[in-house]
Structure 1
Amino acid sequence: MLFLTFEKIQQMLDELKKAYSGIFEDALLEEILETGILKTFHENDKIIDYGDYVKFLPLLLSGAIKILREDKEGDELLLYFLESGDTCAMTLSCCLGQTRSEIRAVAEKETQLIMIPIQKMEEWTSKYKSWRNFVFDSYHSRLTEMLETIDTIAFLNMDKRLMRYLQDKAKINQNELVQVTHQEIAYDMHTSRVVISRLLKKLELDGKIELQRNAINVLDL
């Protein structure tokens, strides 16, 4: 971290403690600060893409990331969101197995990450109990979220799926006004823009949302 200014290092330390002080002990936080690389991504920037070899584990300091999965036809489905204090279980798997990424990670809004070299993962697993717990908890949380996604697709009507999607985006961005187009929603939900537009109009008539230009006000949170 010698190439960073003192002010930047202090800012990074403050953000790291804010996101992970309740998860990692001080000694591990210091190692993360020494070995990690601070990265900033803007809204819609690709952080990890399909086929990438993952050489760093991302620890999310601020912002939000959406994790997408692609089918054989090239259509995408939103799997889950990551927030401050999270990491991606799919990335963990790629790091440990040294395999290519099967997901795409995209910044939902301006996002700061600390990228941890993969060689540190095994070392910290044996050295720090808090790191082992964090890895296991991350796997469990992401698995639960993917099962919820499967349940949503299998058991909920499309209008209920859409409402849950909008509620999740509003909570992730901490703003009931969701800046998103009908086409972007269609991509995330693996359907057509025409279907999304029709369902949004129905939700508006039901008093659950208010449609605006390239934005949706979520009234039912």
Structure 2
Amino acid sequence: MIKELKENYGYLFEDSLLMEINSVGTFKEMPEGFQLIDIGDYIKSMPLLISGAIKIMREDNKGDELLLYFIERGDTCAMTLSCCMGQKKSEIRAITETPTKLIMIPVEKMSEWMGKYKSWQNFILQSYHDRMTELLEAIDTIAFLKMEDRIFKYLRDKAMVNHNEVILVTHQQIAFDLHTSRVVISRLLKSLEIEGKIQLFRNSIKILDL
């Protein structure tokens, strides 16, 4: 595990911190679509991504989901951090977008390392900043973009975290993630194809304008 840590976090953390992470962390490998955290869970550890991507979802009181943002290699989740530090129940759902490798850090190490390692403190504060920026972007997308633009942004983001211009996704899955109907998604995807931005296939979409 120390090799993966150095490759992904060696530029951020000093060797002593990397060694501590290696000694207390738990390495996990998850398939695509695995639910890491559910709404209402008490979070006992924080993920450090080694590879892959995780999508962070929010749920309304009717049980409908909305995609907030993705986290990728070298990231962690600010909402996970907040729940860990405050010992609160999770308000988000975290699901692997791709096959994912990560290291789970025990919650009790969070505050200890904040005081012990400046690099860890900087990492946590930067993670909060990055996730807040993405949340504001998600709000702006919902508030100001037309649904067609929201769909195209969603497709581009998904292609980037998958590192592939062809993404495997159904119209129904897009509808779930964007909290709308499959009929609306299908109609607007066809419009995007006519505009030359995407190419539609059965259960997959190629992004032509990345």
Q: State the TM bucket, normalised to the shorter chain.
A: over 0.9
2:59 aligns to what?
70
Unaligned runs of 5+ in 1: 1-11
1:183 maps to 2:151: no
1:124 maps to 2:113: yes
1:129 & 1:205 partners in 2: Cα distance? Answer: 52
TM superposition score normalised by structure 1: 0.94
1:6 aligns to what?
none
| Aligned-partner residue type, residue 135 of structure 2 | M
Aligned length: 210
1:96 maps to 2:82: no
| Aligned-partner residue type, residue 219 of structure 1 | L
Deviations 1:9-61 (A, max 9, x none): xxx22211121111111110110000000011100000000110000011011
2:46 & 2:75 partners in 1: Cα distance? Answer: 11
Q: Which residue of the other structure, out of 22, 28, 36, is the alignment partner of 2:25?
A: 36
2:148 & 2:6 partners in 1: Cα distance? Answer: 40
Return the offset for 1:196.
0.4
1:220 aligns to what?
209
2:198 & 2:20 partners in 1: Cα distance? Answer: 46
2:135 & 2:192 partners in 1: Cα distance? Answer: 25
Q: Which residue of the other structure, out of 40, 55, 70, is the alignment partner of 1:81?
A: 70
1:35 & 1:61 partners in 2: Cα distance? Answer: 16
2:176 & 2:6 partners in 1: Cα distance? Answer: 35
Deviations 1:157-196 (A, max 9, x none): 0001100000000010000001000011001101011110
1:140 aligns to what?
129
Spell out structure 1 runs of 4+ moving beyond 3 A.
none
What percentage of residue pairs aligned between the two structures are identical?
64
SS of 1:52's equivalent in the other structure is coil
1:70 & 1:50 partners in 2: Cα distance? Answer: 8
2:182 aligns to what?
193
SS of 1:140's equivalent in the other structure is helix
TM superposition score normalised by structure 2: 0.99
1:203 & 1:20 partners in 2: Cα distance? Answer: 39
SS of 1:19's equivalent in the other structure is helix
| Aligned-partner residue type, residue 168 of structure 1 | D
2:180 & 2:21 partners in 1: Cα distance? Answer: 41
2:26 & 2:34 partners in 1: Cα distance? Answer: 17
| Aligned-partner residue type, residue 90 of structure 2 | S
Return the offset for 1:72.
0.8
What's the RMSD between the two structures over aligned residues?
Answer: 0.6
2:101 & 2:79 partners in 1: Cα distance? Answer: 19
1:8 aligns to what?
none
2:11 & 2:188 partners in 1: Cα distance? Answer: 41
2:153 & 2:13 partners in 1: Cα distance? Answer: 32
